[in-house]
Amino acid sequence: MARLKYIIIYGLLLCLFVLPVQARLFGAQSFMLENGLQVVVVENHKAPIIKYMIWYKASAVDEKEGKGGTAHLLEHLMFRGTSNVSGEMFDDVLKQNGVESNAFTSLDFTVYYHSLDISKLELVMALEADRMKNLQISPKNFALERDIVYQERKQVVDNNPSAPFSESYRKVLWQEHPYARSVSGTEKEIKSLTLEDVQDFYNGLYSPDNAVLILSGDIDMQTAKSLAQKYYGEIEKRPLAAKAKFPNLKQNIRAKLEMQLPQINTPRLLKTYIAPSLSLNKDEIYNLSVLSKYLGEGETSELYKDLVLEQKKALAVSSSYDYLSRSYGRFQISALPANGVSVQELEQAIDESIKKAIKNLNIDKINNVKDKMLSGLVYLQDNPFDAADTVGIMSAAGMSVNDIEKQAEYIRAVQYQDVKESANKLFLENAALTGFLKPLGEN
Amino acid sequence: MRSRRRSKSSAFFAKILQYLLVLLLVLGGSWYFYKQYISFNAEKILSESILQEKTFVARPVEVISPHYKIKAYLLEEKTAPIISFSFMFKGAGRVSDDKDQQGISGLTAAMLTEGTESLTSQDFKEKLENYAIGISFSAGLDDFTGAMVTTSEHQKQAYALLKDILIHPRFDKEDLNRTKLQLQKSFLLQKEHPQSILNLKFAEYLYKNHPYGRNPLGEWNAVSKLNRQDLLKYMQTHFAQNNLIIGVAGDITPENLENVLDDVFGSLPQSTAIDFVRNPDMDFNMPELNIDFAAGAQNISRFAAKGVSRSDKDFYPLYVANHIFGGSGLSSRLSKAAREDKGLTYSIYTYMSLADKSPLLQGEFSATKDKYAKVKEILRQEWNKFGQQGATEQEVEDAKNYLLASYNLRFASIANLSEILLYMQKEDLGLDFLQNRNNNIKNISTEQVNQVAKKYFKPQGYVSVNIGNFGQNKEK
């Protein structure tokens, strides 16, 4: 139903109006090699530089039960050499050529990226293509990197006083869903990982047809095509191992998590609704993007005006909506209560404020919000490195370049009734968790 | 018998020699073939690449406004229809806060985007969003900085808003109260994470009573008492044409910029009344300070030694030396020794910090309690070794190659460009700095690097402040 309406509106827009000319957002183009590797190109000729990213659609969610941290440890080991290039040589060659390289692992994706002078692109492509098929993990390097990821977890997760809250929060919210996992793996899991775990993960999932290559910068389509073919064309796709199975979560759950922790000096609140995403109910993602902007993005948003400026119950409140995921999306509201206001009282105020804002939504308000969202689109053409990140996650999550380029049109097409409908569904029907994090001994 | 045996054996050896020769040829041939066609050959890939190096030179110009003679560096860049301004009021950073008003620069920075006399905070923010204009301010340690980005389409509105802020800030009582309460929360949040606690303690310990030792947020007691008049007075005394520096990049011509400069910044007073800030007395031989933090999962150590300012003759050699020692990520000496070869830490690094009155060579590492002492010892050994023996020719060559080849990466965004133009002026690098920079790097010799290594990496010549669990040996 929503979809039909959407198509009609979209069609009307196309037929009746000459759309304000938004020639391109990124100017992204795409092609696919025979082995299934998708390549997305964003041209930007400002300087002779490029950002190269390869997004593997394989990560923490695809790990075997009890083997948390496999994808992340593999990410580290990808820098330790192949049968052709030792880890040291890999690093030296990139450094000598001024290439800035790194990688990250999220729940859904494992990503390797380089920023470089365009003249060094073939070098990077040769190295990346090599480690897509020839990774070699020695027991010595495996043991070293397992120690390093253990230290990483201690530094990045466990040294953060709010970490126990975040970790419990994820588990309660996502129940049996693999999004409940920790990307780094727990201490116990990290220690139990074996070389075979990592090797199996690599063999089964680092196949060209399970990856997206992003080239954003001083390059043209023809060069991109010939180089992609030259370096990746020969890599055969491997039989894909079983990927994550995403269970259907029980909806209608309203859970609460309250924690008092040492080292926490001031209370805060985080509320998450499990939401539609690009992969699930993609018809609603633009409605909910507009909703998030309207409710809580920035200091002219409804929740900020009501709760911070008018009622003075919060000192900060904001919302965010993440729909670029392989399974469910998330709609989040976070807030810091004002002095003398309890987190419980603030939660109630937030709920009421949301109801009020949705009730008051009308055509003028929605137009104002959409205008704000669309006013700065030309900035997307500035930084080729930022463009790589954005186009990268959109593509990896499964958005076509056509849809990427049409973001503005899709947002423009959102009507206030659509937003109301999606909002009511989200807030009334979807599973949600409210978390209160408080200082020790504070009620 | 002997001779016969000899002739027999010499024939035997000749045969062997023949075999050996053939074997050598075969091996050599396969080695060549392997290097050329099978193994990874970086030089070959680069020399045969269809993408060769391009000459890319950014040539900024100096623009001087006709009326008030306000100066700016400009790089015209038309890839996207957007413009970026970076500007600063030199010396007006946190270090210049009156002793009894610590935090006033930071509070002013936060309050400057809360409207103007004719626009309420909400009206002002609505305008910024509707026109896609970004305006922000920040009180740095030494300087007070501002940034503005706008689309070419709405540049007129952007200039008008910026001008309005600088001349007629609103500083409404209610906005001020709210911003103070938000800051109060920041004071609380600041003392949660061990890293953030360490940062505070480190500055305190290193700089004692010098303003560099202050909390970047100021003092809550002082901040809570500040009023509108205080902020206005701070602006009048700290923001003027004689401490204003501007860098601009993007879709704007020099002719247009000239007029914009007069219009936006022309109403500022001629000169400031900023108190002189003395140089801190530094002692890098102080004993280390251990801060107990029972909840910590790791110990974090932060260390510092004397560094050099941007204009010092040792700057470039030390820049390269730091890169080799701890600045280059996983391939630095520190990372190789403590992380890559031993798996003792996730991160260990050094960097040069360029505070006006106290340039430092700084670094940090963290490790779980059981590994901490080992990493600390590796740092000590590597530091002393680097000071005594310096770097190899190859290391210097590699570092220079990296610094040269990665140079263009900084031109990715126009906001970054305008900021570079700003700091070129702050540090007096000259209008032709962007053209000369790579030569400055190329000209560094291994000898120079090793001279500065000796001079700045003195045995045990750094002071550390650490946070975590230290068991019995609390304070050294």
- A153 and A81, same structural domain? yes
Q: What is the distance in angstroms between the CA of the first residue and the CA of the last residue of chain B?
A: 81
- A272 and A420, same structural domain? yes
In a domain? residue A86? yes
What distance lies between CA B342 and its chain's CA centroid? 28
Which residue from A136, A15, A121 is spatially nearest to A74, judged by alpha carbons? A136
In a domain? residue A102? yes
Taking CB atoms and an 8 Å cutoff, what residues of chain A touch B50? 122, 223, 226-227
CA distances from A9 to A24, A403, B382, B424 (A): 21, 16, 67, 52
pLDDT of A213: 98
B64 near B70, Cβ under 8 Å? yes
Asked if the interface predicted TM-score (ipTM) of this complex is over 0.90, the answer is: yes
- CATH number for the domain spanning A96: value is 3.30.830.10
Checking if the pLDDT of B5 tops 80, the result is no
- A325 and A227, same structural domain? no
For A:6-65, CB contacts with B below 8 A are: 44-49
**Cβ of A15: how many Cβ atoms within 10 Å?**
7
pLDDT of B6: 55
Chain A residue with Cα closest to B394 = A96
For B:38-97, CB contacts with A below 8 A are: 38-40, 42, 45-46, 49-54, 56, 77, 79-82
Q: How confident is the model over B401-431, as pLDDT tens digits?
A: 999 999 999 999 999 999 999 999 999 999 9
- A216 and A271, same structural domain? no
What distance lies between CA A353 and its chain's CA centroid? 28
Task: Give residue B57's pLDDT band: very low, low, confident or very high (50, 70, 90).
Answer: confident
A431-A434-A440 Cα angle (round to 5):
150
Inter-chain CB proximity A265 and B39 less than 8 Å? no
In a domain? residue A245? no
* Residue in this structure with the two tokens 């633009």, named with its chain if needed: A286
- Mean residue pLDDT of chain B comes to 94
Taking CB atoms and an 8 Å cutoff, what residues of chain B touch A144? 340-343
Q: What is the four-CA torsion angle of A301, A304, A306, A307, rounded to 10 degrees?
A: 160
- A204 and A290, same structural domain? no
Checking if the pLDDT of B35 tops 80, the result is no
CATH of B289-468, one of 3.40.640.10, 3.30.830.10, 3.40.50.280, 3.40.50.300: 3.30.830.10
Q: Region B82-109: what's the mean pLDDT? A: 97
- A315 and A267, same structural domain? yes
- A228 and A264, same structural domain? no
Put the strands of the sheet holding B61-64 in their side by side order.
B61-64, B71-76, B244-250, B82-89, B144-151, B134-139
Chain A with chain B: Cβ pairs closer than 8 A? 218
Top pLDDT among B27 and A220 is at A220
Tell me the three-class secondary structure of A267-319, residue by residue.
Answer: CEEEEEEEECCCCCCHHHHHHHHHHHHHHHCCCCCHHHHHHHHHCCCEEEEEE
pLDDT of B475: 40
Q: Region B81-102: what's the mean pLDDT? A: 97
* Residue in this structure with the two tokens 């002692």, named with its chain if needed: B283
Inter-chain CB proximity B409 and A84 less than 8 Å? no
A124 near A99, Cβ under 8 Å? yes
Domain count, chain A: 2
Which residue from B334, B214, B365, B462 is spatially nearest to A159, judged by alpha carbons? B365
In a domain? residue A201? yes
> Where are the domain boundaries for CATH 3.30.830.10 in chain B?
61-265, 289-468
Measured in angstroms, the CA of A95 and the nearest CA of chain B are apart by: 6
- A279 and A187, same structural domain? no
In a domain? residue A246? no
pLDDT of B19: 87
Q: How confident is the model over B330-378, as pLDDT tens digits?
A: 999 999 999 999 999 999 999 999 999 999 999 999 999 999 999 999 9
Inter-chain CB proximity A151 and B398 less than 8 Å? no
Task: Give residue B36's pLDDT band: very low, low, confident or very high (50, 70, 90).
Answer: low
- A124 and A258, same structural domain? no
From A232, A262, A295, the end of a domain falls on: A232
Please give the structure tokens belonging to residue B474: 């609390």
Rounded-to-integer distance, Cα A173 and Cα A184, Å: 18
Radius of gyration of chain A, Cα coordinates, nearest whole angstrom: 23
Q: Residue A31 is part of which domain span? A: 26-232
In a domain? residue A5? no
Checking if the pLDDT of B2 tops 70, the result is no
- A266 and A219, same structural domain? no
Rounded-to-integer distance, Cα B164 and Cα B121, Å: 13
Q: What is the four-CA torsion angle of B195, B197, B199, B202, rounded to 10 degrees?
A: -130
Measured in angstroms, the CA of B12 and the nearest CA of chain A are apart by: 39
Inter-chain CB proximity A155 and B405 less than 8 Å? no
* Mean pLDDT by groups of 10 residues along chain A of 443 residues: 38 38 80 98 97 98 96 98 95 96 98 98 98 97 98 96 97 95 96 98 98 98 98 96 92 92 96 96 95 98 98 98 97 98 98 97 97 94 97 98 96 96 95 97 79
pTM score > 0.90 for this model? Answer: yes
- A195 and A272, same structural domain? no
Q: How confident is the model over A116-147, as pLDDT tens digits?
A: 999 999 999 999 999 999 999 999 999 999 99
3-class SS at B183? helix
- A267 and A217, same structural domain? no
pLDDT of B16: 85
Which segment of A43-47, A219-223, B29-33, B256-260 scores lowest on mean pLDDT?
B29-33
pLDDT of B27: 84
pLDDT of B34: 65
Inter-chain CB proximity B49 and A121 less than 8 Å? yes
Q: Region B377-393: what's the mean pLDDT? A: 98
A93 near A130, Cβ under 8 Å? no
In a domain? residue A278? yes
Measured in angstroms, the CA of B180 and the nearest CA of chain A are apart by: 10
In a domain? residue A87? yes
CATH of B61-265, one of 3.30.1780.10, 3.40.50.1970, 3.30.830.10, 3.90.1150.10: 3.30.830.10
pLDDT of B15: 84
Residue type, B146: G
Q: How confident is the model over B173-185, as pLDDT tens digits?
A: 999 999 999 999 9
